[in-house]
Structure 1
Amino acid sequence: MRVDILVLGAGAVGTATALQLQRRGMQVALVDRRDPGEETSFGNAGLIERSTIEPYGFPRSLRKLARYAFNNRSDMRYDLTHLPRIAPWLARYWWHSAPGRLAASAAALRPLIAASLSTHQELAELSDAQPLFRKTGWIELTQSPAAAAEAKTSMERRRVHGVTGVLLGRDALAALEPALSPRVEGAVHWLDPWSVSDPGALVKAHAAAFVKLGGSLLRGDAATVRQENGNWRVTTEGGDVTASQVVVALGPWSGAFARRLGYRVPMAIKRGYHMHYALDDGAEIRHTILDEEGGYVLAPMARGLRLTTGAEFAPFDAPANTIQLDRAERIARRLVPSLGRRLDPAPWLGRRPCLPDMRPIIGPAPRHDGLWFSFGHAHHGLTLGPVSGLLLSQMIAGDAPMTDPTPFGIERFDS
């Protein structure tokens, strides 16, 4: 088979990219060793995070760092034996989280964040996926006067960038979410973001639309990709496929792929877990809820109420360690008294691909003709999948890009 372009990786980023390239008239083959949406894209909190104006930086204050010193929190856990290996990356992450550098990354990301809803809407219409979306925002709990004051300041800062939020007192929060414990003092209701009731199903809907419109969805391993006579070739279950161009959108496996071709990519993996729960006594949670102090998110999903943990720094293929999930569950049961039994036979474990400056790599590979990258989206792969695909498809087609792609080039690490 011959196509115009190969897309490696059928997650939220790769599948959306394949659709965006297809919309520009290209013949595309989407290749993955698994079905669409069954790796990192399967297990997130399901937020299209329009309210983000800054990426998740490394804590810079001693007070915040001290919270993690004893390794007993649910929003972050580290494997002590893994720290020496990841320490150089953490140092770079800390350096890029300085106020000025963090502001530069935030400014670069802001046009992508701003276009996240409209690009999701376009692909949802194309793939008949609108029923998967809830356009009701999300709720950030404020469980102390200090947290409420910080939330108010955050609202003012975000309002400048077109983000709207409403402060909720105890009674207003209870009216929105009666299943929460009355001990919760208040919250901010961020109105702009959307949520998805099944992220994996959304990726599958995009993949189905891609196939319906003439794309080729193929089972194959990116490890078989090679460049031959100016073309790119990959082996699939149906035979070899050749194209003049290839996009690497392999999520947490992208760094190893790029390094195999000689590119320096300082990628680290933040592992994360989720579990679904039943709710007793007819209770329901209507919005995605962040308990920042507790270090977890509760998200209503098609399967049940999903509890997602924060970040775990541990070896890529280390066995699952459920201590974060267990800690978060204990806190969540106090927050939601009707939280019932676990619905999954085992916790799900996923891997977020993270770069130290908190920006993805989107753009061409400088030393290989026809090679393009789109990976390293960290916590926002679902949010940025369609708009990353739009930006990359514009670059590949030679169209004017919707924002300056320079801050996302791999040259910032490999020059």
Structure 2
Amino acid sequence: MSERKVDVLVLGAGVVGVSAALHLQQRGREVVLVDKHDQAGEETSYGNAGLIECASVFPYIFPRDLRHILRYSLNRSTDVHYQLSGLPEYLPWLIRYFLASSPQRSLHSAMAALPLIRRSLAEHEALIEQAGVPQLLRRTGWIKLFRSEASMARSLLELERARAYGVDGEVLDAKAIAAREPSLSGSFAGAIHWPEPGFIPDPGALVKAYAALFQRNGGQFGHGDARLLEQDGALWRLALADGTSVAARDVVVALGPWSDLVFRKLGYRIPLGFKRGYHQHFVPRGNAVLGHPVLDSDRGYLLAPMNKGIRLTTGAEFARRDAPPSPVQIARATPLARELFPLGEAIEPTPWMGARPCLPDMLPVLGAAPRHPGLWFDFGHQHHGLTLGPATGRLLAELITGEQPFADPKPFSVERFA
């Protein structure tokens, strides 16, 4: 078996892994990127709302009010669903998530992630320019719709909090909503247009463009099974599907929801959880046009104008990562979405399903593994994998190469779970 020796082996070719590989490559490291698929961006990085959420200061917390908890417990909502059969597996994680969602602890997580959030769009813009795909970034922002005065009032308070951290939004009344999105119909208490975030109309294509840039610059893409990773003295070694192998001084685990396949084998107890999500594309009827991603916040779904069609995305499903799909949220959301926007026929015969890798404190695991020299973690980005991939890739590359990190890496250390 022939073997190639390189500086760094990156496991996982989603946006997080590809971004880490690019930033390491830019700093002179010879890198091999390995994925279980033949192409990059085939899993979680493909199925999302396409938002680079540089204005999302506060994380998605577990609800603290009894009204929301009781509503979700009935398991009839479009934004949250759970599979009862998986409850013994994910309930301990949900309890930790609830505790980490206290006002004090969630604010701590928000402030830790803020430097990454605020840097996210600039890091994407740099890679998009290098990759030569400016058409994959639209500067439209997104719109959050409210059907009730109560939800509108709560979001206005959130807007005031965000303004304290340099983020602004435009409040829209019914007339302004109609002017921005004339194809929408319904009765709205108002909306907030968040203009700063970028929108990616084909997230999978963007990750593939980043991977192509990596390869044009001399990087190697390999097909392999990360579970075969072995430590051999000062080197990490992985056999690839083509019969060759790779040996590297450093290895980066960027496998998203599958990262536990490596870290558990090496003895790390990290509370990685999963929020599964679904999407399906639809053809717009007639001359209907959607100019922005639009979140129908009171009904719990989002419509995004992707290149492939109008993408209907759901909220979170709590289930075992590999449990069979249960796309009830898509079934519940589709008739509601058709009331908002004239959706035609579905493009795919069945909805797509993916899993978001989540830590209970709403922060990724990023940095060195304490007991294995040369082992690095970069996973657990929750709802912000597309947003944060290039920013965390830069931070990780700075740590590996000994540069001054642009943000404090301590809050993301795996040792916070020791």
Mark yes or no: TM-score above 0.5: yes
Q: Is it true that 1:278 corresponds to 2:287 in the alignment?
A: no
Which has the larger displacement, 64-73 or 176-185?
Answer: 176-185
The answer as to whether partners of 1:29 and 1:217 remain within 8 angstroms in 2 is: yes
Corresponding residue SS for 2:45: helix
- Residue 97 of structure 2 is matched in structure 1 by 93
Cα distance in 1 for partners of 2:346, 2:251 equals: 41
- Residue 110 of structure 1 is matched in structure 2 by 114
Q: Following TM superposition, by how much is the alpha carbon of 1:154 offset from its aligned partner in structure 2, in angstroms?
A: 1.6
Of 328, 334, 338, the match for 1:333: 338
Of 146, 157, 179, the match for 1:175: 179
- Residue 312 of structure 2 is matched in structure 1 by 307
Of 15, 28, 31, the match for 1:12: 15
- Residue 56 of structure 1 is matched in structure 2 by 60
- Residue 133 of structure 1 is matched in structure 2 by 137
Which has the larger displacement, 315-324 or 17-26?
Answer: 315-324
Q: Following TM superposition, by how much is the alpha carbon of 1:274 offset from its aligned partner in structure 2, in angstroms?
A: 0.3
| TM-score under structure 2 length normalisation | 0.97
The answer as to whether partners of 1:170 and 1:182 remain within 8 angstroms in 2 is: no
Cα distance in 2 for partners of 1:95, 1:149 equals: 26
Cα distance in 1 for partners of 2:269, 2:322 equals: 22
When the two structures are aligned, how many residues end up with a matched partner?
413
Please show how residues 27-66 of structure 1 align to structure 2 within 5 Å.
Answer: 27-34=30-37, 35-66=39-70
Cα distance in 2 for partners of 1:81, 1:303 equals: 34
Letter matched to residue 104 of structure 2: G
Cα distance in 2 for partners of 1:153, 1:223 equals: 46
- Residue 145 of structure 1 is matched in structure 2 by 149
Letter matched to residue 11 of structure 2: L
Letter matched to residue 172 of structure 1: A
Q: Is it true that 1:320 corresponds to 2:342 in the alignment?
A: no
Please show how residues 192-271 of structure 1 align to structure 2 within 5 Å.
Answer: 192-238=196-242, 239-271=244-276
Q: Provide the identity percentage.
A: 52
Letter matched to residue 387 of structure 1: A
Please show how residues 307-386 of structure 1 align to structure 2 within 5 Å.
Answer: 307-336=312-341, 338-386=342-390
Cα distance in 2 for partners of 1:373, 1:69 equals: 34
Cα distance in 1 for partners of 2:293, 2:175 equals: 18
Cα distance in 2 for partners of 1:350, 1:171 equals: 37
Which has the larger displacement, 388-397 or 228-237?
Answer: 228-237
Cα distance in 2 for partners of 1:96, 1:386 equals: 26
The one-character-per-residue Cα deviations of 1:205-235 (angstroms, maximum 9, x if unpaired) are 0000000000001111101110112101111
Which has the larger displacement, 314-323 or 86-95?
Answer: 314-323
- Residue 413 of structure 1 is matched in structure 2 by 417
Structure 2: which 5+ residue stretches go unaligned? none
Cα distance in 1 for partners of 2:261, 2:165 equals: 36
Of 393, 398, 408, the match for 2:397: 393
Q: Following TM superposition, by how much is the alpha carbon of 1:156 offset from its aligned partner in structure 2, in angstroms?
A: 1.3
Q: Following TM superposition, by how much is the alpha carbon of 1:28 offset from its aligned partner in structure 2, in angstroms?
A: 0.4
The one-character-per-residue Cα deviations of 1:118-177 (angstroms, maximum 9, x if unpaired) are 101111111112210111110000212222222222221111111110011111110110
Cα distance in 2 for partners of 1:360, 1:129 equals: 28
Corresponding residue SS for 1:260: coil
Corresponding residue SS for 2:165: coil
Corresponding residue SS for 1:281: coil
Corresponding residue SS for 2:264: helix
- Residue 300 of structure 2 is matched in structure 1 by 295
Structure 1: which 5+ residue stretches go unaligned? none
Displacement over 4 Å in runs of 4+? none
Corresponding residue SS for 1:207: helix
Which has the larger displacement, 327-336 or 360-369?
Answer: 327-336
Letter matched to residue 115 of structure 2: P
- Residue 23 of structure 1 is matched in structure 2 by 26
Letter matched to residue 101 of structure 1: R
Letter matched to residue 271 of structure 1: R
Cα distance in 1 for partners of 2:46, 2:299 equals: 23
Corresponding residue SS for 1:40: coil
Q: Following TM superposition, by how much is the alpha carbon of 1:182 offset from its aligned partner in structure 2, in angstroms?
A: 4.3
The answer as to whether partners of 1:55 and 1:106 remain within 8 angstroms in 2 is: yes
Letter matched to residue 156 of structure 2: K
Letter matched to residue 296 of structure 1: Y
Letter matched to residue 127 of structure 1: A
Q: Following TM superposition, by how much is the alpha carbon of 1:84 offset from its aligned partner in structure 2, in angstroms?
A: 2.1
Letter matched to residue 256 of structure 1: L
Cα distance in 1 for partners of 2:241, 2:150 equals: 57
Letter matched to residue 29 of structure 1: V
Cα distance in 2 for partners of 1:188, 1:64 equals: 22
